[in-house]
Amino acid sequence: MTSPNKRVVSGIQPTGNLHLGNYLGAIRQWVALQDSMAAGDQCLFFLADLHALTQPVVAGELAANTIEMAATLLACGIDPARSILFNQARVPAHSELAWILNGTARIGWLNRMTQWKDKAGKNREGASVGLFAYPVLQAADMLAYQATHVPVGDDQKQHLELARDIATKFNTDFAVDLFTLPEPLVSKAAPRIMSLRDGAAKMSKSDPSDASRINLIDDDDLIAQKLRKAKTDPEPLPETADGLEGRAEARNLATIYAALADTSVDAVLGEFAGKGFGAFKPALADLAVATLSPIRDRMTALLADRGAVSQALEDGAAKARALSGPTLRAAQAAVGLQV
């Protein structure tokens, strides 16, 4: 059941706010892929609300976050006339296929997932079953659509490899040529944007310090303030990227600048070599504000009509249900479930 066309599939958890790492590592790629689609290609992007249930949730907050994050994706350039945008919970094939794939995935495979180890921490016995099985649902998210390409940040590569292992084992065990093996598309410019407070930690929604990240809802002053206070070192900027060795925070800011300006780190250093962060940070803040403030304005306008955002998701879910139906039925048939 391999499709000759490109099927681009990716998701984001509607927890907290979208931040610059999500934007540069994933969403900007989603928009670029949507904008360069050939006839017959398809892009599907979703709010992974079922995945959000693997951590403690407040129902009202999850519902509001889902709409707000959908509005953010629309504001970033996802166009529901060209891409299928929806929330995962409205497409039952994700959960149904995940359950079938739970029979294929091995506990040993899931035990090796670094995200599971990080998130469960020392208290594995107290972690939810959902947190452990999370990568199987993620596999279903992609396999249900015969995804060919999955644009993600570097941190999701291991989950993509697992999805390929699950797909291969299922195809082999049931002697079918059902699931396409999805390819990760990791941004070269911004595979992993780091925290503004710690160059060794990923910029993350779950970091307790808001100063560690730039949220897409932050106003211009807050963006400039967070960048001004970003951790750096006293050395001036070097002439080439090699000179950033051992300077994780400096490397991160140069990477953010290059990604925002759509240029290379070497080109950025060509401009700022020998200058200190006192000169670099304001230039970076101007660039970040120029990129993010129009997105924030569009988001605010979209959120004036939450019903319309909700309707866009509902329309997308109907299309996603139709697309995932045949693969779900084929998987049911392969394992012997009456369909």
Give exposure, 283-297, as e/b (b: 16+ Cβ within 10 Å): bbbebbbebbeebbe
Active site residue 275: no
The C-alpha atoms of residue 110 and residue 113 are separated, in whole angstroms, by: 5
Binding status of residue 70 toward ligand TYM by CB under 6 A: no
Catalytic member of 6, 157, 169, 205 = 205
- Asked about 229 being catalytic, the answer comes back as no
- Single residue of 164, 202, 251, 296 touching ligand TYM by CB under 6 A: 202
Q: Of the listed pieces 63-71, 121-129, 150-158, 277-285, which binds ligand TYM according to CB under 6 A? A: 150-158
Query: CB of 138 within 8 A of CB of 182?
Result: no
Q: Are 75 and 299 in contact (CB under 8 A)?
A: yes
Binding test (CB under 6 A) with ligand TYM, winner from 7, 8, 10, 320 = 10
Q: Give least dist CB 135 to ligand TYM, A.
A: 8
Note whether 199 binds ligand TYM by CB under 6 A.
no
Residue with smaller CB distance to ligand TYM, 55 or 339: 55
Q: Is 319 a catalytic residue?
A: no
CB 182 within 8 A of CB 9: yes
State how far the Cα of 115 lies from the Cα of 161, in Å rounded to an integer. Answer: 13
Q: Which of 7, 51, 164, 296 binds ligand TYM (CB under 6 A)?
A: 51
Asked if 87 interacts with ligand TYM (CB under 6 A), we say no
Catalytic annotation, pick one of 119, 169, 231, 319? 119
Is residue 142 within 8 A of residue 8, CB to CB? The reply is: no
13 contacts ligand TYM (rule: CB under 6 A): yes
Using CB under 6 A as the binding rule, whether residue 156 contacts ligand TYM is answered as: yes
Does position 316 interact with ligand TYM (CB under 6 A)? The reply is no
Pairing of strands 83-87, 149-152: unpaired
- Cα–Cα distance, 99 to 296 (Å, whole number): 38
The token duo for 7 is 């099927």
Which range binds ligand TYM by CB under 6 A, 134-142, 288-296, 303-311, 324-332?
Answer: 134-142
State which of residues 119, 192, 319, 321 lies at the interface with ligand TYM (CB under 6 A).
192
Sign of the CA dihedral with 166 first, then 168, 174, and 180 last: positive
Q: Report d(CA 295, CA 141) in Å as an integer.
A: 27
Interaction between residue 150 and ligand TYM (CB under 6 A): yes
Nearest distance from residue 275's CB to ligand TYM, in Å? 26
Smallest separation, CB 320 to ligand TYM (Å): 13
Distance CA 77, CA 167 (A): 31
Any contact of residue 203 with ligand TYM (CB under 6 A)? yes
DSSP state of 11: E
Fill in the DSSP letter of residue 4.
S
In whole angstroms, give the CA distance from residue 330 to residue 339: 9
Task: Kindly list the residues in this chain that would bind ligand TYM in the complex (CB under 6 A).
Answer: 9-13, 21-22, 25-26, 48, 51, 138, 141-142, 150, 152-153, 155-156, 190, 192-193, 202-203
Active site residues: 119, 202, 205
